[in-house]
Structure 1
Amino acid sequence: MPLSRRVGLAVAIAGSAVASTVLPFTAHAESTVLHVDNQAKCSDEGTGTQAQPFCTIQAAADVAEPGQTVDIAPYRSYSGQVTVKRSGEPGKPIVFKSTVSDGIPTANVSSSAHAFVLDGVHDVTVSGLSLEAPQEAVLVKDSTRIALDRTEVRGGRNGAGPATANIRVTGTSTNVTVSRNRVFSPPVAGVAIDAGVTGAVVTTNVIADGAGRGVLVTDAPRTIVVGNTFARNCGADLELAGNSAGTVVENNILAKLPAPRCGSTPSTAAPLVASAGSIQGTTVDYNTVVPLSETSASYSWGDISYATPGEFRGTGQGAHENAVVPRFDDYYRPVAAEGLTDAADPNAFGTLATDFFEKEPADHPGIANTAPSGYRDRGAIEVQDPLGVHVNGSPWAMDGHPLNAQFLLTYAASWTPGTATLDFGDGSAPVVLEPGSQVVNHDYPAFGTYTATLTGTSLTGPSRTSTAQVTVEPVPDLTAQFSWKLDDRSRARITVTAQGTSPFPIVRHVVDFGDGTAPAVSEGHGANLSLTHEYGVGGSYTITETVVDKHGRTASQTKTVGVPGPQAGVPFTGYFGGPSSHNGVFDNGLWTLSYNKTDSQPGTTWYFGNPGDIPVVGNWDYTCQCQHAIYRPSTAAFDLSRTDGSISHVPFGNPGDLPAVGSWDRNGHDQVGIYRPSTAEFWVRHDDGSYTPLHFGNPGDVPIVGDWDGVHHSQFGVFRPAANPWEPNLFIFRHDDGSYSTVTYGMPGDLPVVGDWSGTGRTSYGIFRPGNHQFTLDNSYAGRADNVYTIYNNIG
Structure 2
Amino acid sequence: MHRPSSAVLAATAMTASLLGSAAPAQAAEPAALYVRQESTACSDTGPGTLAQPFCSIGAAAAVVTSGQTVDVGRGTYPERVTITSSGTPDQPITFLASGVAILSGATAGFVIDGQHDVVLQNFKVRSATDAPVLELANASGITVQGGSYVMGTNAKAPAVRLAGVTRSNLKQVSVTGSALFGGLTMDAATSDVSVRGGSVFASSISDSDDGGAGIKVDGPGNTVIGTTTGAFAGASIEIGPDATGTVVANNQVMGGARFGIHNRGAAGTAITNNTVRDHCQDGIRVDGASTGVSVQNNVMLSNGLFGQVYCKRPGPGGAEIGIYDDATKDTVVDYNNTYHHGSPSASAYSWNGTRMGLAAFRTASGQAAHDKDTPWARDSEDSANSAAPGYQDTDRAGTARADNPAVPNTGAGPVTYADRGAVETVGNPVARFDTALDLGANSVTVDATTSTPGFVPITSYVFDFGDGTVVTQGTPVASHKYAATGTYTVSVKVSGSDGRTASSAQNASVLRRTGTIGLISQYTLWYAAATTAGIGVAANQPALGAAAQFDLADAGNGKVALFSRATRRYLTNGGSVLPLSTAVTSSETFDLLRNADGTVSLKAGINNRYVSAPSSTASLVASATTIGTREKFYRVNVADNERTFKAGINKRHVTAESAGSKPLIANRTAAGLWEKFTLVDLGNGQVALFARVNNRFVVAESAGTKPLIANRTTVGPWERFTLIRNTDGTVSLKAGINNRYVVAESAGTKPLIANRTAIGPWEKFTLG
TM-score (norm 2): 0.49
TM-score (norm 1): 0.47
Larger radius of gyration: 1
